[in-house]
Structure 1
């Protein structure tokens, strides 16, 4: 395979072509991305025997991604995760947001960044630069925001996502990526071993909005050492019952200092594939694919069911605009003259 390949993937209803860009390190990592949503359609890595497999869930066509996508592979913005109460107040001014999760604004609203058409420019054979301009008032958020995201392949099997954003008016921003990983390439992820470098997590109410930060000790939320997900996900814990599995934010133990620190490790014992997630973000949302219910099929015709993929979304805390900024709730406010920057590295082995 050539280091960079480009093909037409499909067309929007207005006739605009959507292209798929594929990068290959030649050393064990293949990444395919489309302009719509910045969606990662395929991420192929070898198993312990050298056999390549796609380790992210995807859909067969552009039409499926447009109409039926539960955020598979998208760039999430302007605000990853939930903002409760249908809005927030900034500098004394209230803002009403697009609500698409009961009364919550989830992943940027009904037409968030994952449902918009990005521009893509290759930067050499190992990097794709994606750009999107979000106008003032987009989904109710203030300010015109210019966002740049780079997908960079480094080393033999490293995929780094680099985010930058600027605004012409005070706003809030919390960018992340929403891949559903399955290191086996098919079937359930509940047999995967997961480690999360955090001793605290956010408890949530019935709307999945954080109510406080709790210690993981003695709970099924303690992944400070590797644990099989299936050994914990069915415990009778009220937080697991509330979310129908895991859909919670962990506050990372590492300092929030702009450097890459370990957030999570994931391993599939059957295939031997493993992934480390390092990030400059202060937290990570672990979502166990609770609402995959067999109504969606992948490119090969397989039905996706509960637990067939999991997300590790590096981010600031959910509903941060409703918390006074402190060490547990770093601010998500971006002002004119500032540049939002964030990095997350996925290291496969």
Structure 2
């Protein structure tokens, strides 16, 4: 595929003509045969359309126009989650000797920033070169987190690559961990499960978890386990193995990526291929980890645009981020952000055909 950000057409419209949807904008980015739409609700990557090996295009994200479903518990279809993606144990953090109680989401954790996290907010948006820039102000004490946080997320479409660029600053020492929570199905939304997709992860280790899905400490090697995706492997090959880490019926784990470039530029983290359609997705990131979630707990409560209810394994989330519960794990890369510093993170989704 060819193209550049200068060739990207950018437009915006109301998400709906009335009700709550009238306050939400839908931004459309189009470059050749690649199209992405972004909602100001949750800074959501709502749809992503790409061609297969025959040139036929399909929408490859789990997606719905039902606002309640977009915001449904633990689903987060394409939203930006924060201010702390993934889980923090016991809903508390300690910074510089001061303890901060966070808003709990149940199960003894705070997940994705709390019950009223960034995914539930309407972000301000403006056109950026080749894309859209979204901004959000999170006040001091929001969901229990210290510091007023100013966040910026920019989506840029250039040829076959969609770049998501994150920035944040704070007024007090705090912790920050941002990611996008899109679910991919390269066969096309509603096109069956992803168990036959081939996944490669640039990671020799992962963080095993307890019953709360909180890492219990040191990294463990993937070699010889169902977590070994160092070479292309069908997602479903070992997903039902008798392994203590697969008791939830699938993957919802963080892999420790190979060292990232010191200059913060993104390097490859994952490669996903659908043998049936030939569509591929290469994920590059500056982040040290990637959470793979295979939609184990989906039970058909949400029906997508295709008219197909989303059941288990309807899609796979590839969430580039820092490791879960890093504030309680001093051996993990730090998520601390202080005044005068800038949080920076970049992830690239590069589409192709095998």
SS of equivalent residue, structure 1 residue 114? helix
Q: Which moved more, 1:16-25 or 1:66-75?
A: 66-75
* Residue 275 of structure 2: aligned partner: 269
Is 1:204 matched up with 2:209?
yes
Check conservation: 2:15, 2:21, Cα contact below 8 A: no
Select 1:93's aligned residue among 70, 76, 98.
98
Q: 1:207 to 1:68 in 2, by over 3 A?
A: closer
Q: 1:140 to 1:13 in 2, by over 3 A?
A: farther
* Residue 140 of structure 2: aligned partner: 136
Select 1:347's aligned residue among 338, 345, 350.
350
Q: Which moved more, 1:337-346 or 1:246-255?
A: 246-255
* Residue 227 of structure 1: aligned partner: 233
* Residue 176 of structure 2: aligned partner: 173
Check conservation: 2:8, 2:157, Cα contact below 8 A: no
- Structure 1 position 4, deviation (Å): 2.1
Q: Which moved more, 1:69-78 or 1:134-143?
A: 69-78
Structure 2 Cα separation of the partners of residues 244 and 2 of structure 1: 41
Structure 1 Cα separation of the partners of residues 293 and 30 of structure 2: 28
Structure 2 Cα separation of the partners of residues 277 and 21 of structure 1: 22
- Structure 1 position 255, deviation (Å): 3.3
* Residue 301 of structure 2: aligned partner: 295
TM-score (ref. length: structure 2): 0.93
Is 1:282 matched up with 2:288?
yes
* Residue 150 of structure 2: aligned partner: 146
Q: 1:300 to 1:68 in 2, by over 3 A?
A: farther
Unaligned runs of 5+ in 2: 1-6
1:170-213 alpha-carbon deviations (Å, 9 max, x no partner): 00000111000000012101110000000000010011100131
- Structure 1 position 235, deviation (Å): 0.9
* Residue 253 of structure 1: aligned partner: 258
1:15-26 matched pairs, under 5 angstroms: 17-26=23-32
- Structure 1 position 283, deviation (Å): 0.7
* Residue 4 of structure 2: aligned partner: none
Q: 1:11 to 1:148 in 2, by over 3 A?
A: farther
* Residue 41 of structure 1: aligned partner: 46
- Cα-Cα RMSD: 1.7
Q: Which moved more, 1:247-256 or 1:274-283?
A: 247-256
- Structure 1 position 65, deviation (Å): 2.4
Select 1:183's aligned residue among 169, 173, 186.
186
- Structure 1 position 292, deviation (Å): 0.8
Is 1:103 matched up with 2:108?
yes
Check conservation: 1:256, 1:282, Cα contact below 8 A: no
- Structure 1 position 289, deviation (Å): 0.7
